[in-house]
Structure 1
Amino acid sequence: MNDRRILITGCASGIGRDLSRTLVAAGQRVMATDLDPERLAETAAGWSSARTRVRRLDVTDPEQWQDAIEAAEEAFGGLDVLVNVAGALVPGWSHELSDAAVDLQIDVNLKGVVHGTRAVTPGMMARGGGQVINVASLAALAPVSGLAVYCATKYAVRGYSLSVAMELRAHGIAVTVVCPDAVQTPMLDVQRDVEAAAMTFSGPRVLTAHEVSEAIVRAMDERPLEVLLPPSRGWLAKLADLAPLSGRVLEPVLRWQGRRRQRG
């Protein structure tokens, strides 16, 4: 892949950790960010300071976004790619979630993506191009009971990504939304013992963080509008979304299947 200057969020674990390590190993210039500085330091252990930067970033804070973008542009002479990976998930029935749990998921998953995209856009416009990659979920394509608020935020991320892609295309800026199925990350671990989250485990297998990282790296070269992982489950989700009433038939079966896999 070409030499790129990349800022990634959510690098303390999961997809963000694997992606940042993959890109650094490939010789890319990377600013890895996260809210948790200690675990972020673990991610970056052994990196060369000449081509990498590590920075604490609260994606819900627009001012911190501005500071992070400015720091990356100063360190690397600009930014070619922003990858919004940071996410939050609190499983459970919607009416039982606390107000704080609702706000957390909306603020991190949706507002964090919007703040980051808006912050990086002016510099990319001035340089004549760039790319924003937003990690959503297959929960952005079809309803998922037990994860209603999370699902709503991912629907919104996908809608925002597709819409802002239209706005920025004329400026040479590509926007890609990546929609993976369940991924083996700490976010999955918090759902394993929660019965309401059984739908998460309804697929034939769980993706690895590296599989998602590889798809994101390919997206940097190909610049697609949307990536579904795996494609078969993605198109199944899209079909289900075309006929919402089908969920009444499919949901009990998928929930039973997911519950079996949770227990296993």
Structure 2
Amino acid sequence: MQTAVVTGAGRGMGRAIAERLAAHGLSVLATDVDAAAAQETASKLGSGAWSAALDVRDPGACRAVAGEAAAKAPLTVWVNNAGILRTEHAWEHPDADVALMVDVNLRGVINGSRAAIGAMAGPGRILNMASLSAFGPVQGLAIYTSTKWAVLGFSLSLEGDMRDAGRPIEIRTYCPDVVDTTMVHDIANRPEAAIEFSGSRWLSVDEAADAAVDLLYGKRLFAATPRGRMWLASVGRVAPRVGMALLPLIKKAGERNRRKWQAGDW
């Protein structure tokens, strides 16, 4: 038996990934800042799964969870899924929201990764959740986007560190487009969220979770879903002037779709 830890496992993507890891035969420790939601996930996974409350902003708590998982059986998988999304112009965010996004989305990934590496005695895999926004500028999501760019950079650099240190731990980063989750619905009525509707549709939780677990056990260092949208997003990084010119057009298309969504037509 081997163990896996999933953060933000109380619902949505985290729960779906935990289900797939359990199906792979892993004993899953489902964690969430919402202890009751984490426990509900564990109960759905059946025997061998258990839960713990975890605030990923606390590095000591991350180490304690990693130690708990490793004490039960070898810890071989850690998924840094916990995340926070707020939409607003960067200067209009309350300070508390800025701190929350940076602390959960970036520092939480760093805390979890360091804790996992410290507790993995042998081969292991770490999956970090970024976003399609890791590849280019996103209007209305400057703070959130900055955390996802940083997660991708951290993850690739950490993979380099693992190789340099001769540690058999593989780091993967999943960068999905918008996934149909409660977190997204919570901000969807805001005009600043128009960019979230710029694709033809949102990914389902199952689609995204399947792709994430495929990446975890595959050879690629990162993956984006859908791949075509990754190339579009990357224009803003590779050719910033072109990207800036495209942003208003993308936002306009997104706002049309957002209004259709509000009318139940998208």
TM-score w.r.t. length of structure 2: 0.93
Which residue pairs with 2:117 in the alignment? Answer: 121
How many percent of aligned residue pairs carry the same amino acid?
38
* Residue 74 of structure 1, aligned match among 71, 79, 82: 71
- The question of 1:185 aligning with 2:181 is answered yes
* Residue 103 of structure 2, aligned match among 107, 123, 136: 107
SS of aligned partner of 2:183:
helix
CA contact (8 A) 2:39 2:52 kept: no
What whole-Å deviation, never above 9, does each CA across 1:170-212 have from its counterpart, x for those lacking one?
3111111110000001121022111011111101110011111
Of 109-118 and 22-31, the range deviating more from structure 2: 22-31
* CA distance in 1: counterparts of 2:178 and 2:124, whole angstroms: 28
- The question of 1:53 aligning with 2:31 is answered no
- The question of 1:88 aligning with 2:84 is answered yes
* CA distance in 2: counterparts of 1:223 and 1:52, whole angstroms: 27
* Residue 40 of structure 1, aligned match among 33, 38, 41: 38
* CA distance in 2: counterparts of 1:46 and 1:82, whole angstroms: 19
State how 1:227-246 maps to structure 2 within 5 Å.
Answer: 227-246=223-242
* CA distance in 2: counterparts of 1:251 and 1:214, whole angstroms: 30
Which residue pairs with 1:209 in the alignment? Answer: 205
Which residue pairs with 1:21 in the alignment? Answer: 19
* Residue 64 of structure 1, aligned match among 61, 66, 71: 61
* CA distance in 1: counterparts of 2:119 and 2:26, whole angstroms: 19
Which residue pairs with 1:262 in the alignment? Answer: 258
Pair 1:159–1:46, CA change in 2 (3 A): closer
Give the paired residue count: 258
- The question of 1:149 aligning with 2:143 is answered yes
Runs ≥4 in structure 1, deviation > 4 angstroms?
none
Which residue pairs with 1:222 in the alignment? Answer: 218
* CA distance in 2: counterparts of 1:19 and 1:40, whole angstroms: 13
Which residue pairs with 2:263 in the alignment? Answer: none
Unaligned runs of 5+ in 2: 261-266
Unaligned runs of 5+ in 1: none
Pair 1:26–1:166, CA change in 2 (3 A): closer
CA contact (8 A) 1:175 1:223 kept: no
What whole-Å deviation, never above 9, does each CA across 1:55-114 have from its counterpart, x for those lacking one?
110000011011100100112x22111110000011111111000000000000000000
| Counterpart AA for 2:5 | L
Which residue pairs with 2:264 in the alignment? Answer: none
What whole-Å deviation, never above 9, does each CA across 1:144-174 have from its counterpart, x for those lacking one?
0100000000000001001111001231111
| Counterpart AA for 2:134 | A
* CA distance in 2: counterparts of 1:251 and 1:202, whole angstroms: 10
* CA distance in 1: counterparts of 2:84 and 2:162, whole angstroms: 27
| Counterpart AA for 2:26 | Q
- The question of 1:173 aligning with 2:146 is answered no
- The question of 1:132 aligning with 2:130 is answered no
| Counterpart AA for 2:125 | Q
* CA distance in 2: counterparts of 1:256 and 1:4, whole angstroms: 48
* CA distance in 2: counterparts of 1:78 and 1:164, whole angstroms: 21
- The question of 1:5 aligning with 2:3 is answered yes
CA drift of 1:12 comes to: 1.1
CA contact (8 A) 2:235 2:242 kept: no
CA drift of 1:221 comes to: 2.2
* CA distance in 1: counterparts of 2:151 and 2:173, whole angstroms: 8
* Residue 164 of structure 1, aligned match among 145, 158, 162: 158
CA contact (8 A) 1:132 1:175 kept: yes
* CA distance in 2: counterparts of 1:46 and 1:229, whole angstroms: 27
